[in-house]
Every structure is written in structure tokens, then in C-alpha cells.
Structure 1
Amino acid sequence: MTDESQRNLRTLPTPPTQASNGTPSKSGLIPTNTVTTKEGITVRTRIEPSLPVDDVVRQLCLNLKIKDPPTMFALRDESDELVTNDNLRKKIKGKVHLKLVNAPAIEAAEIVERLAARDARLGLTLTSLRKFIREEQFANEFLSRDGLHELISVINDSHGNVLAYALTAMQNLMELDHGWSNLSDSFIFRVVEILSAESSLINVCRPATAILKKLVEADPANAPGTHIASSSRAPPIPPPGSVYRYGFEVVFEQMKRESRLLETVVSRLGSADTTMALYSMMLINSLMAHASEDLWEELISTLQHLNVHKAVIRLMSSHTIEDLTSCILDYQANVVRMTYRKKNLPVDPDNEPAHIASLDFIWQKSRAKEEQDNDGGTIKWRKLGFDSEDLTQEFMEVGVLGLDCLQNFVAKDPDFFAKVVQEQLSRPEERRCPIAKASNDVVDLLSEHWAIFGPGYSTSTTFQPFFLNFHRVHALATQFFLRMWNESGASTGDFMRVVALTRSQVKVALRKENVRPWHEVEQDFLECEYRAVRDRQMQELEKEDDMMSKVPIRNLRAKLYKESLEFVRQQRIHCLMQGAWFMNALPISANTPRDTIRRPSRPWRFMRLDQGLKSLHYVDSALKFVVRSGLEDLPERIDISQISEIATGTCAPFPHTMNNQPDMNISPQSPLQASPLSFSLVTASGITLAAQIAPDQSRWADWTDGLNMLRRTGGHVASAETEVFVHALTEIGLKIRLLNLSGDQAEIPSGIIAGNPPASNDFFFSEL
């Protein structure tokens, strides 16, 4: 090293290390950093932390006698992270080695020029671009030089690894909330084409999938502040320059032009590359969570045709990374919301072609014949077990979900269905099993079992493969209902009794859903004997009042369940706003050698959610301290909009060190063990924004569930504590509501029968 490289450079005059009274001066505590220039010269310097970066660069250029203007230079650390006014103090205190490099404006100009040239250095240029594009200063300079146009041109004309680098750069650019508001339909279709090609490399598919996902989520309704006016039916209009101008409909329109896209995405759920499976799962979740009112039925129908449920069920038993657990639970939550949507969509037998076709199919396969009653009316649907010919009213409680389940039951074995219908019609009317009505009641029972009460959050913390087989379970339970009707010699007045038997069997057959094999479910429904089911149900009735199974009570429980869920959501978010201390952790997705890991100098982190629910503010510290209310003590922040996944059980504590040396009692080759109290905040591109370990189970539940409930796409509950809490509140609220009725022994009817409508509108409601 030359004499020049060893000299002590001062950005400020180096003050004496001691004051005149012999005590160390405050300025003497300034750490010494090393700075390397572009020419390879390394100098040692003391930098005042309170200086702005521009002043630091200016003094460095002055002392090094660099003739070029200081605006042409910037500081980066060894990992090429740009030094800014926000992180300068952290770099200085950490004695980080710095580099004097080209300013973002110079880097951006050179990269745009090389992109336009398309020379042999294009791969290296894109490698630099995908690294720098995340920086606000560089991105602004890049965009101002029409760099986005050049990047899109590369994406349109490239393939292989060059295309992968370009797509990754585009994906990283889209992490910003500006600069990509004018992407054309042709670009979106280009990404769709890339993703649809089975020959596409995995490193091409990953960023392409993430880009589509980001475009789906960039819906005007998701723009910051639009949730206040969510009750309005008119779609919000994004302001000029806003990136929230795409959304589900824009992307889905281009997806429909390439019919193989969804098929290819679903097939990649079985990819040996678990990260590819993760990205595909995240895209499917985004499509389901953001599907518009006009197109959600088409999307769900397509996904069902592609057997996406079957692919997800396979993932439940074969996944190897914890990130997939969160995605699968999100998928279950999305299916719950979609099922609720179907359940509340009325059947229209007169105007909806799909409903008309389904009903025609059911009627034809029944092989029944219409008749006339004594009043000249038609007897048709009553022959299949409905109470009337008004099908909209008959399906009122179960909607299109009930119609789909009945059609699936018929399609599963048309000959069996026809045989059952004809058998029932041969009996006296009071002894006939109302098949269609039984099917609808089974749908209602299964909805109750899986808590399909509203479009809120799913409280299941475990995999539910039987729920994803809703139609198959419905068919088994309906067959069970028919068998119990026949074996018990039931008549019309015994309908609710057989419903109660079926409810009891549903609870037994679907127990321990995440661990039981499917063949045991089939055995429980198809082979159980009437007497055994009846005896068990009688024992259950001894423990639980029969009043609890009545329809009004079940409806009340569903209402209280939604209220309890919202109460818990507010409580969890309040915990986030109070803040908490966590231990900084190490993500273990990569096989990091233990002997290269050093415990950080500031192992503790305090995090707090701001009042606007938009950012997590935090501070890292060597020791815990009393954090004042507000955000003054929390200089760093993470935008909630950047969080795509809250992965749990994915981080390990840093190995114990003594004097910065690893613990010799632990082998360097021994694997790191994930803490069950750990969680990480992950972006759509897989970047870990935070990796923390909670101090206890309660704090872990508050934060993982609270962060999930903050997400715009909704989310699943991650902890058993929250699940138990919601159900306990529901049951307590139900019992309190019933105290007056049960105390007075008031009779609760099984249902309410509406009277005939008024003959005219010549009436008024009395105030008495």
C-alpha cells in the first residue's frame, strides 16, 4: 500500500482526543472508517455522523484532490448499498468499509446507454441494474432518462438468462410505488406469454410470476386511502401517475388471450423447485383475492376445471419450505371467501343460463315426469324433494353453492340418482325422503362445520384437505342422509331428526382433518350403522341442549362469530400499535455455514405500527430501553404495502458468541434450528424485510395474526391462540344472548315461516 493510501484523511479537522481537563472529548468518540476510491486507493477517515452525505462526499473529493465535481460521486458500502442521510449514522457507528463510486445519476445514465447499445456487456449491465433499481435515487434517475422504455425493449426481444435478468430488474422496480404507471397491455401480454411457455427457465418464470402478481394487486381499490370510500359502488379513479391503475380485470383480460397460462401455473405447483411452487401459489392467491364481481365465477370455474384443489392438497403433504405453509393457509382462506360468495349468490332459474343448464341436467337425470295438481299447477321440483316450485326460494339459504353441490351429486352417479328418485316416488308421500332438500341441508351443515359465515378471515391454523374436497364430502354426507332415512323408517315429520344425525356424523367423520386419510372419511360415512350413530347422538344431546342445534341459534352463532372475529382483529392491531421488543434472527432459507455467522452488535429490535396502519417503525439496539410513545425513538420503517407474506417458523437465533467467537461446543456444520416463535416479513420478490423471534407465544400470536389481518388481501390466522379466542368469544356471547330465553324456558322455533305477501300496497305499518 502506498504512503498516500495509508494517510489519515479527515473530513473534519481531527480534534484532540482529550480535553484540557484530561477527560475524553465527545468528538474523540467518532469512529474511524475506511474509504476506497475508484482508483483503488484506501484511506482512513473520521466522519461526523450529523453531516449530510453530500457534505461528506464534497470533503472527501476536496481532501483527495479529485478534480471532477462532487455531484458525480456517491458512497456505497461493501455490499453496494447506497449511503444516504437515513443510514449514514448506522454505517459510521458500525465502522463499515465505504467506497467512493459514481453517483446514481452517472450510473443510471451509463446503464441506460448500455441497454440501448445491446452489446456483449448486456448481461453485466442488467445484473447491475437489478441491484441498483431498488434505490429511490437511482430509480428516479433511471426513469427520468427513459430507462423503463429500454428495459421493456430488452424484455420484448430477449430470452434465456438475459431475459431472466431483465425481468428481475423489472420486478425490483415494481417494488417502488411510482414509475411504472404506464405499462401497456402489450407488455402485460408479453409477460403472460413468457409465463405460459413450458420451456421457460425457472429463473425466468419466477420474476414473471411476481410481476403479474404485482399488477393484479395494483388495483385502484387498493390505492392508499381508498378503503375509506369502499362502500361506494363506483370504482375509484386513480390520480395521475399512480401505479394503482391495473388490477385483476386488466391482467385477466390478457390472461384469457393465452388459454394455457392458468394451466401452466397450476402445473408448476408440482415443480421440484419449491420457490417456483411458492411463486405460483402466490399468483393464484392474488387472483382469487382480487377477482372482480363480474369475473370471479369464471376464474373459480377455470381453477376447478384445472383441479387446483388437488394440486394444493398434494402440496400439503409434500412441501418442504415453511413459506408454502403460509401460502396454503392463504389459499384456504381465499376458498372460504369464494365459497361464501357462492353460498350467498341467489339461484336464478329464469334468466341465468348456467343455472338453467344445471337445473335441466338435474331434472333430466332424475327421469321423473311432470304432473298437474288439483289446482292446475305443475308438480315438478316437488317430486325431487323441494317444498315448492319456487327454486329461488328453495335455494335461498345455500345459493349457487347448493345448486353446484346438487349437480355434482347427480353427475357423480346419474344412474344411482335416478334409482333413488324413482324409489322415493314409489312410496307414500309422507314416507318419501326429500332428496333435494336433504342436499341443501347437508350444504348448510358443512358450511357450519367449516365456519363459512362471512367474507372475513379464516381461523383455521391447520391444513384442511377435506374442505378443499367440499363436493366429495357433500356427496358422501348426502348418501349418508338417504341411508339413515331408509334405515330409521323416517317419515316427513322426522326430517330434522335425520338432519341431527347427519350433523353428528359430520363432526365425527371430519375430525382431525389435517392428519386423517381420505379412506377413513369414506368409511365413516358409508359403513357406520344407524344404531351406533343414534346412540352417539343421544349421548351428545345429554351434554348439549337440543336448543343449540336449532336454525335460529345457528344463525345467531354465525353472526356472533363474525363480530368476535372483528373484535379480535381490532385487539391484535392495537397490540401492534403499542409495540414490542423482539430478538433479531437469522433467516435459514439458505445453507449458511455456522462458522461464518456472528451475532449482531444490536440483537434487539423494537417495532410499532403507526396510527395510519401504513408502516412498521422500528429501532435496533444493543440493549432494551424504555421506548417513548409515538415514533420519535423509531427512525427506521417498513411499509406494510411491501409485505406479501408473514412466514412463520423460518428463522433461527444467531449462534451464541463470546468475544465475537463462535461457541466451540457447537459444530460449524450442525444445522440451524428454526424457532417456533420466529416470523419473517417477506416481499413478493422473496426479500426478507425483517426476521424476528418473539419473547413468548402470546406476543407471537398477536403479531403474526395482527400483521396477517392488516394485509389488503385478507389473510389466515396463524396461531391456535387466536382461533381458540374467537371461538370462545362466540360461545360466551351466544350463551349470554340465550340467558333470558333459556331462563324463562321460552320455546325457540326451528324456523320462521313467512306469511303470504299483501294483495296490494294499500296498507301501512302501525306504530303501536
Structure 2
Amino acid sequence: MDAHDDPPSVSSLLLSLTSDSDPTQKLAVFRLQTLLHDPSFADAFLQAQGARALRACILDSQGNTLAYALGSLNALLELGVGWEAVDSNVIARAVELAVGGGGLVNIVRNALTLLVLVVSRVPDGDEGEERVYETAATAATGFRAIKPALDAHPEFLKSLVGRLSASDHTLCANALQLVNALMRDAVLHGGESEWPKFIKRLQDLGVIGGVGMLMRGEAAGDASSPLTGAILEFQGLTKVLLRKWRSVGVSPEIVEHKRALKTVHLLSRPERFAAPAERPQGEEGVIGDEPPAVPRKNSRKQHHPTKWRRLGFETESPFWEFDETGYLGIMDLVDYARRNESAYHSLFLEQAAQLVEQRCPLARASLGVTLVLYEHFEIDETADVENFFSSGAGGGHARGVSGGAVVGRALKPLLLQWGRLHTAALNAFLRLWKLSGAEAEDFYKIEELVRIIVERIIGGADRKTEVGKIEEEFRTVSLETARAWQMEGLEEVYQDAWDLHLEAVREQLYHESLQFMREQRIRCLLEGSWFPTTISPVAQNGVDAGAVQPPSSTSRFVRLHPNRQTLHYSDFASPTSTDPSQYPEIDALPLILDLSAITSVDSNVSASDTPPAPAQTLARNPPSSDTLTRIPSKPASPSTSTTLTILGSLSAASPESTLLTLHPQTTDLASEWLDGLLLLLDQQPITKATTETIDMMVNWGVRLRMLNLRWEDVDWSSLEKRVRGEGDGERELPDREGLDDDFWYA
């Protein structure tokens, strides 16, 4: 019989299938693999008792004949027929081949596929005429159907997990499909105490590492690969397991739950506690005196009054505190205590020396991190267990997934590293608590920062990112970085939701900030400043002018009158004092320039001549309205000369001319006087120092509004001092006295 002939008849195939000649039998089952995908041919084959002949071939043949026979049976089972050929002997044979393989990869692949179909089978209530051969042995489905064979091969699960690292991707896919089928059946049909044990056994054998390696491999990015479908199914099952663990309520009536909490307590290495001795009748203790830790005679062991609150629970009855996280919360807390036993113990020793309100409630923090991760990975968006499987997401065969880029984004290898992510995020929580000096009332603020860090670090990772890199980022992220991310997130959220409203807020804040800077600049003019009366000879167009003219020692003092209507000035041989409190008074300045005569102010100060330093100082300390403000001076470049020329007309008939010329010695002084004069003339400021400070205050104001801080709660006097350059040495550290529950930034 030639492979290229027309399709043979069922009778001729059955005759070849039962032949004693191995080549004849091999060719028959080879052709059957393809022909049995046709439902009409499959029906004819079964009616001719082909299932029995195929079963016999599987039990008696070897090599490629065996591989093709398994493939033919799989083709029947995929159509939902042929189950009469699957009995305990066939299942035992498949398990044996899956462990050993007989030296051929295609035998192992087909044996694994057969076991997947058996474990994944959902019995139909109406079996029909073609199920008359089904026996009690084949009626069992799921894990129960293959358990007797697995008992005979205890190394089966270890071998199965080991197949996940095989170089043959189809073999990996088939092995992972069987892992998925076993997990699925354990969750659906295993008892409440059985399925967690089976899942843990798989995890102990290394299934997480094996699948994680596949997820990061090149094959997982191929949307058409059967491996991709199996990986996505495993990821979905992981979410189902997390959801199921969360749905398990924690109860003091369950021994395993009580044991888990006891583990958390004992790993903290608590000091031994004895109830205080009874005082003799009539004896009163001194107020504030601690009773001696001596047990009563013949008394029972007493419960420490802060046994559970010491660990970070809110009460001494911690079971109810797992209502939101369920058993998943206990699992994570126990896992953290075991992973970090030394640091876990040291934390409580350190906290014993702190005030109660300054201690980070570790247990609450652990439960909070569990919920943060749960929400980040959108666990609740996975359908419930039954719906997940019945919808086809858990079918026995991996299916191709369209769109390689979509698959790359859908795969989340970090989800499989739940325990390590929980540990890293909880350590970040503890570190941020300490860095920020947080107290009990700040718990939810730190929790929100951790939520933002999780979104940034884990959410920003791609499919190939190693969990070690994620852990390192959690260890090194600073409080300032976390807060910057928080502000960026707030801006994005509010910009999307309140775009028009924020524009109105920005407009309002701009006018307020401009008014503030107007007052600050004008107050600098009211204080007055010294100016040289001539340009320094060092810098006349870059040429040393010292040989041309001698330097002038005369100085001009200019001051704005308190009525803000006139400028008063006079020339002096030298500055009388550099102390603002000793500056010349208005009466000592006989020369007067009426502001109404000024038409414009000309200057060679450009927008890039003034530095952005004031914006940084303002961001840390805000302004007062009753003291003078002066931005720290920056010396002007020795190669340039700054000149302010005040132009105007002394009468309506006279042409515009120069009324006064000033030579500021620093760029900041130039900014103060140039913008101050412009603002007095109801014009817009133009220097970089002023405009950047206004922009900074607008942005800061918007952020304060987004954080729901009240503007009047800001320490404006502190900002004013920073703007003036005061307190640049050792700064007084702010305390938290008087602050409410709104977030506060140092």
C-alpha cells in the first residue's frame, strides 16, 4: 500500500492494523492519524470495531508504530469519540511512556497529549450508542483516572516538570498542557484540603521557574506556537488560584490557619511573658509602677496583652483582619516572615524602642501590599473557576493566539513570582515609612506610594525582565522619586478628568503668582539698592579699558518712595552702608524722578541672563506678605555690563530721552529692578528669574490643589526667607505638629 494512493477503505486499514508485519502496521496507523480527523471516517472506523484494534496496537507496539497509534487515538478523542479504547491499561501505558519515552520524542509528545485529553475530559450525560463499550475503569475522569498509574510511577510529576525545559517546543507545550489539566482538575474536583497540597507539590518541583523561563523565551513571542497558548492558560490558572486563595476565609476553627498565625508569631522571637503576680489584699500599687513579671502560683499561661498588635495587627483578635485578603493574606505574611527571618526579628527589636504611633504595623502593611499586587495584576478580572474552564480558556489543547505584539504584552512572567514581589514591595513599604518619619495616621499615604511604585516598576517591566532587577529597583527607589511619580500620576489623572477645570485653576493661580511677584519686586525697589555711576572699565566690548579711563568710585543709591509714585536717588562718594537697615532715607535723596514721566525701560538683560535657582528655593519654602523678599544674588559676568536705561518725557512737549541709567552688579539685582519697574508700569515681567518663579508657583499651586491642601496652611514666611536667601546654612527641620491628615511635603 503506497502512501500516495487514494484513501484506503476502513476494512483494508483494519486488516493492516492487525497484521503481524510491523512495517504494514506502521503505515496503517500513520495513515489513520490524518484520516481519523474526518468525523464520517471516524464513525465508520468505530463501527468496524477499530477502537479495539487501535487499543491493542498501543499496548503491543514500539517505536514509530507506537507513536502513530497514540496519534491516531488522540485524533479520535479530539472528536469526542473512541473513549471505549481508553482503559486503565492504556492510561498506565501512556504514563509509563511519558516518564520513559522509549527514546523517541514523538512518543512522549503523543503520550502527554493522550493524558491531557483524559484529565480534561468532561463526561457527557447522554453517551449514545457508541459508548456501549465504556467500562467502570474508563468512566473515571480527571486526575482520578490517572492516579492509579501515577502511584505506580512516583517520579512522574518530577519528570513532567522537567519536560518544561526540553529543547523541543511541542514537547514543552504538551507537558505544560498536562500540568494545566492537572491543576485545573485539582481546583475543580479536588477537596478544599487536597488541591492546595497538589499545587504546592508542583511548585516545590520547580514548575514556576520552568514556566517563567518559557515565558521569557523567544518561542513565547510566536503567536502561532502551541506553546504560547499553554503559557497563557497557565497564567490564567495562576490568577484563578490567587483568587481562590483569597476567597478562602480565615478562621480560628481551622487548624492550618491557627498554625500559620502561630508561625508568624514565633518567627518574631517574642520575649517570654508571664502574668503579673497578684498583690496582697489591700496593697495598692504606685501609679505608673509596672507590676513585676512574676507568674501567679499555679496560674495558667497568660496571653500577652499586645501579642498580635506587636506584629502590626489592629486588635488582639487578628482573624477578622484577613477579611479582604482571605487565606492569600496569611500565605504572603508567613512567606515574608520565612524569607526574611533575621530582618523580621530585628524589626520588632528596633520598634520596641519607638513610640507606638511611630511603629510601622508590619502585618497591616503586608495585607496592604497583597491587595496592591492583587489589584495591579487585575486578578478579579479573571472569571470564576467554572466559567474560566467551561468558556474554553482551559481546554485540553493549546490554541494559537493572534498578534505577536499583543501576546508579548499579555504575558506576565512576574505574576509567577508573587512571593518575591510581595517581599520586595513590603520591604519598600517599611523603608519609605522610616524615611518619611511616618506615624500611624500616615499608613494609607505610604500604602498609596507603594501602589504607585508597583505600577511604575512592575507595570513598566517587559516580558524578559528578570525578577532580580525588579527587586533591586524596589530596594533603591527613593522617597523623592516615589513622590515625583505620585505627582505625575495625579497630574495625568486630573488632566484627563478635569482638563477645563484645571485650566481655570491655572489661570487663577497665574494671576495670584504674578501679583505676588509684583509685590516682591516692588518691595525690593522700596528697600533701595546701590549702583555704580559708570560702567566698570574691565569690560568695554571685551577690551581692557583701564588704560583709557580710571575706575569711578562714586555710587548711586536709588529708592522707591513708599507712595510708589516717585523714584528718589543721589550720588555718593562710596556706599554709606551695605546693611539694608542703614540705607539712606528718602529725605537724604534729593533727586526725584516721577514715575508718570517714564515711558519705557530699556535693558541689555536677556531672558537667559538670570538663573532658575529661585524656582528651586521657592519649591521648598513659601512666601510672606509682610517682609521684604530678595532673591540671592549672582554676580554678573566680568566680561559683560548690565545696563538699565529709564526713558521718558519730563513734559508733554519734550521728546523722549534718557531720564536715568542704572548699572546693576548682579543679574538678580537687574531682574529685580527691571521687572519691578515694568510691573510698576503695569507691564509684563521679562527676565528668566521672574518668569520661572511665577511658573513654578503656578505648578506648585496646582499640585497643592490636587493633593487637597489648603493654601493658607502653607508656611509662606519660610518661603519668603528662602527667596531672600536667608537660612542657606543649617536649616531648621520642620515638625508635624498641627498638621491634619492631608499629605505634606518637605
Do residues 122 (structure 1) and 70 (structure 2) align? no
> What secondary structure is seen at the aligned counterpart in 1 of 2:254?
coil
Taking the aligned partners of 1:282 and 1:245, their CA distance within structure 2 comes to: 20
Aligned to 1:174: 77
The residue that corresponds to 1:463 in the other structure is 411
Give the structure 2 partner of residue 441 of structure 1: 368
Q: Which one-letter code corresponds to 1:468 in the other structure?
A: L
**Corresponding residue of 1:287:** 182
Q: Higher strand proportion, which one?
A: 1
User: Pick from 161, 168, 171: which aligns with 1:273?
Assistant: 168
Aligned with residue 207 of structure 2, among 293, 308, 313: 308
Out of 147, 151, 159, the position equivalent to 2:62 is 159
The aligned residue for residue 442 of structure 2 is 494
Separation in structure 1 between the aligned mates of residue 101 and residue 113 of structure 2, nearest angstrom: 17
Distance in 1 separating the partners of 2:314 and 2:105: 56
Structure 1, unmatched stretches of 5+, are 1-37, 41-77, 81-98, 227-237, 549-749, 751-768
Partner Cα distance (1:382, 1:189) in 2: 54
Listed as ranges, the matches of 1:170-319 within 5 Å are 170-181=73-84, 183-197=86-100, 200-220=103-123, 223=124, 246-252=141-147, 254-291=149-186, 292=188, 293-294=190-191, 295-319=194-218
- Aligned pair count reads 437
User: Pairwise mapping of residues 677-688 of structure 1 onto structure 2 (< 5 A)?
Assistant: none
Alpha-carbon distance in structure 1 between the residues aligned to 2:331 and 2:363: 12
Matches of 2:204 and 2:423, distance apart in 1: 18
Question: 1:500, CA displacement in angstroms?
Answer: 1.1
Structure 2 counterpart of 1:392? 319
Question: CA–CA distance in 2 between the matches of 1:542 and 1:127?
Answer: 65
Instruction: Name the structure 1 match of 2:453.
Output: 505
Distance in 2, matches of 1:470 and 1:538, equals 27
Corresponding residue for 1:365? 267
Structure-2 separation of matches of 1:385 and 1:241: 62
C-alpha separation in 2, matches of 1:336 and 1:418: 32
Deviations 1:451-509 (A, max 9, x none): 01154279984321221111111000000111111112222111111111111111111
- In the alignment, structure 2 segments of 5+ residues that lack a partner are 279-301, 394-405, 498-740, 742-746
Distance in 1, Cα, partners of 2:357 & 2:126: 59
The alpha-carbon deviation at position 427 of structure 1 amounts to 2.2
Instruction: Give the aligned partner of residue 686 of structure 2.
Output: none
Q: Does the CA-based 8 Å contact 2:58-2:66 persist in structure 1?
A: yes
Contact 1:218 1:245 in 2 (8 A): no
Check 1:120–1:316 CA distance in 2 against 1; reply closer, same or farther (3 A cut).
closer
> Structure 1 residues 370 and 510 mapped into 2: Cα distance closer, same or farther (>3 Å)?
same
In structure 2, relative to structure 1, the CA distance for the partners of 1:164 and 1:156 (3 Å cut) is same
Q: Would you say 1:524 and 2:473 are equivalent positions? A: yes
- Residues 22-69 of structure 1, C-alpha deviations (whole Å, 9 max, x = no match): xxxxxxxxxxxxxxxx9x9xxxxxxxxxxxxxxxxxxxxxxxxxxxxx
Task: Check the 8 A contact 1:181/1:244 in 2, yes or no.
Answer: no
Residues 657-701 of structure 1: CA deviation (Å, up to 9, x unaligned)? xxxxxxxxxxxxxxxxxxxxxxxxxxxxxxxxxxxxxxxxxxxxx
Q: 1:533 aligns with which of 482, 485, 488?
A: 482
Give the TM-score normalised by structure 1: 0.52
Kindly indicate which of the two structures has a greater share of residues assigned to helix.
2
Shift of 1:435: 0.7
Q: Offset of 1:529 from its aligned partner?
A: 1.9
User: Following the alignment from structure 1 to structure 2, what is the Cα–Cα distance between the partners of residues 490 and 542?
Assistant: 24
d(CA) in 2 for partners of 1:178, 1:485 = 62
CA displacement 1:230-286 (0-9 Å, x = unmatched): xxxxxxxx9977898522443356435422222222222221112111222222223
CA contact (8 A) 2:161 2:175 kept: yes
Do the aligned partners of 1:464 and 1:513 also contact (CA within 8 Å) in 2? no
Q: Which amino acid aligns with 1:277?
A: C
Question: Which structure is larger by alpha-carbon Rg, 1 or 2?
Answer: 2
Distance 2:319 2:486 in 1: 33
Give the letter aligned to residue 473 of structure 1.
L
Percentage of pairs with the same residue: 28
RMSD over aligned CA atoms reads 3.5
Secondary structure of the residue aligned to 1:514 is coil
Q: Which runs of 4+ in 1 moved over 6 A?
A: 238-244, 372-376, 457-460
Seen in structure 2, the aligned counterparts of structure 1 residues 438 and 256 have a Cα distance that, compared at 3 Å, is farther
Name the CA shift for 1:445/1:356 in 2 (closer, same or farther; >3 Å).
Answer: same
Is the Cα contact below 8 Å between 2:54 and 2:85 reproduced in 1?
no
Task: Give the Cα separation in 1 of the matches to 2:42 and 2:456.
Answer: 58
Q: What is the DSSP-based 3-state SS (H/G/I as helix, E as strand, rest coil) of the residue aligned with 2:323?
A: coil
Shift of 1:393: 1.4
Alignment deviations for residues 625-646 of structure 1 (CA, whole Å, 9 cap, x no partner) = xxxxxxxxxxxxxxxxxxxxxx
One-letter amino acid of the counterpart of residue 415, structure 2: F
CA distance in 1 between counterparts of 2:216 and 2:162 reads: 17
Native 8 Å contact 1:151 1:170 kept in 2: yes
Structure 1 residue 300 displacement after superposition: 1.8
**Which secondary structure state, in structure 2, belongs to the residue aligned with residue 367 of structure 1?**
coil
1:410: which partner in 2? 337
- Counterpart residue identity of residue 217, structure 2: S
Alpha-carbon contact 1:108-1:142 (below 8 Å) kept: no
Q: TM-score, normalised by structure 2?
A: 0.53
User: What is residue 720 of structure 1 aligned with on the other side?
Assistant: none
Q: Distance in 2 between matches of 1:372 and 1:418?
A: 21
